[in-house]
Structure 1
Amino acid sequence: MDDLHPLPTTPLTVAAGQAACVALDIPANVAAAADLVRRAADRGAELLVLPELFLTGYEPAGIAADPDRHTLNAADPRLDPLAAACAETRTAVVAGAPTRDPDTGRLHISALVLDREGRFAVQYDKQHSTPSERAAGFSSGTHGCTLTLDGWRLGLGICWDSGFPEHARAAALDGCHAYLVGAMFGLGAGIHQRAVVFPARALDNTSYTLLANHCAPSGPFHGCGGSAVWNPDGTLLTDAGPADPAIAVARLDPHPLAAARTAEPVLLDPSLTTPPGPRRTAPLA
């Protein structure tokens, strides 16, 4: 696999951001996202990942009740302040947002990706919607998504995607060096899930793994924070803790990645697993 997608040769600095959201107030949450972009850029980040549905808050029922008002798309002018922050700082962003398919009308929990010029790069739709999200009217996506930035291949996931080992494995089999997830893990069981799932995905696939998580009340949950990055051996690299707002900034280094993959080459042997499904690839340069 690394013959098709060589390991990166230079480090990449990424950030996972968290902050309180205002329920269904897209302009307010876009402003918070733009602030986090600038905070991340001040600490050297080239890419910021934000939590699931950050631009509306985690409000599936409210979104579905008025999708004309509460969904976004690539051309939505409400994204302009976020695009401006990306362009000013040369920092890409993965922003959690609800979307609606213009052809089918189906609702999706998505990640809208803006590149370092603030231009729309790609949309990823959550592939594993929860039962409650489906009951609210949200459909699951059909494609994985890989971003490319400075020689790094970065697979995207949203919350419950990370609970399915094959989702992160599909990214790894597509040559991804890191797995980036925006999520809503709440207090209680979510604390345990966060602590167990992400080191496992990192170790399973010898990939850096990033979580951007909610850190305040949103919809029916209270996010537990703990946005973080794990090394390819499953050890914790950086953790934002419960603070609001906060960012976890990490320098992804090719050398630990190469060492992990040399030590455990069988983990990424395509002959030992199901081939990944269709994926979209988007450059962020």
Structure 2
Amino acid sequence: MRSSPGPECQTDPVTCRIATVQMEAVPSDIDGNVARIARLIVAASAGGADLVLFPEAAVTGYDDGVFAGPLPDLADEEWWAPLQSAVDRSGVTAIVNTAIQRDGCRFLGDVILSPGRTPLAAYDKQHLHDSESSVFSPGAHGAFFTLKGLQFALSVCYDANFPEHAAAAARAGAHAYLNSGAYFPGGEHRRDLHYAARALDNGMYVVFSGLVGEPHDFIGGAAVFDPLGRRITVAGEGEHLAFADLDPNIVADARRHQRMWAQRRESLGEHRHAGSFDTASAQR
């Protein structure tokens, strides 16, 4: 594992250091994946992180066969106990995405693990992609949490393709939009464009954590974008942690000078047809 260099840990209480993870999750190897996640939580702490974000399906691996089989349940403490131990020892809060079952339904859900607290199933992916919709139920609502005075909104992969999802997070007061993802080969342009746009559109940080490797040659790309849509840190090759310090003052300054958020209209009215101006229509 290589950790990208970052600025020294700041003491300002309103600044939060986040680590975004790029990692491989082996399908069906829950014990191995959990051990890897626990190790990366400790590594994030060593880098001064307050918060660490993991990719989509980091616990189970992203695989249709796995999704159709038995899935982790928060009622079973055995699988998440090593993760809770890691956050308790390190003092880091972790956002761990997993395929999960709950109340007879299946979700791609974000679990928040924080020192001294019971793990919380906080958010379920709302926009399901392709084959996911035949297995999982979509989440019923957005979600955000507060850490070190900043508000963090949760999202999973395809959610970020929809501008209104990030806009709803910003409207709720989010300083940062966290996205756990898994991009297939060929998705580099779309991935980077969407995250930069969501940041610029809403004047907030966007943090992406991505899978690499098997079983679909996932392309990673873990990165942090600032409120002007500039990529300020990016993961290297393979397993990697990338760090960034998030400052709400930078969000406030971006929104003060970048006026799209303040000046957007609640309603633009109906779209009306203004007529046809092709040549055939003009001759009639």
TM-score range, shorter chain: 0.7 to 0.9
* Whole-Å separation in 1 of the counterparts to 2:125 and 2:152: 16
Residue 52 (structure 2) pairs with residue 54 (structure 1): no
Shift of 1:273: 6.2
CA spacing shift, 1:95–1:269, aligned 2, 3 Å: farther
| Aligned twin of 1:3 | none
Matched-pair identity in %: 33
Pairwise mapping of residues 229-268 of structure 1 onto structure 2 (< 5 A)? 229-243=224-238, 245-268=239-262
* Whole-Å separation in 2 of the counterparts to 1:89 and 1:239: 23
Per-residue CA deviations over 1:72-104 (Å, capped at 9, x if unaligned) read 3255321111111101010011111111231xx
Structure index of larger Rg: 2
Pairwise mapping of residues 23-34 of structure 1 onto structure 2 (< 5 A)? 23-34=27-38
Pairwise mapping of residues 37-48 of structure 1 onto structure 2 (< 5 A)? 37-48=41-52
* Whole-Å separation in 2 of the counterparts to 1:41 and 1:260: 29
Per-residue CA deviations over 1:141-192 (Å, capped at 9, x if unaligned) read 111110110111000000000001111111100000000000001221x111
| Aligned twin of 1:208 | 205
CA spacing shift, 1:142–1:132, aligned 2, 3 Å: same
Pairwise mapping of residues 112-123 of structure 1 onto structure 2 (< 5 A)? 112-117=111-116, 119-123=118-122
Shift of 1:251: 0.4
| Aligned twin of 2:280 | none
| RMSD of aligned Cα (Å) | 1.9
Structure-2-length-normalised TM-score:
0.85
How many aligned positions are there? Answer: 257
Amino acid at match of 1:250: A
* Whole-Å separation in 2 of the counterparts to 1:24 and 1:130: 21
Q: Which runs of 5+ in 2 are unaligned?
A: 1-11, 269-284
Structure-1-length-normalised TM-score:
0.85
Pairwise mapping of residues 23-172 of structure 1 onto structure 2 (< 5 A)? 23-64=27-68, 66-67=69-70, 70-73=71-74, 75-102=76-103, 105-117=104-116, 119-135=118-134, 137-172=135-170
CA spacing shift, 1:44–1:56, aligned 2, 3 Å: same
Q: Is contact 1:112-1:123 (8 Å) kept?
A: yes
SS in 1 for 2:123: strand
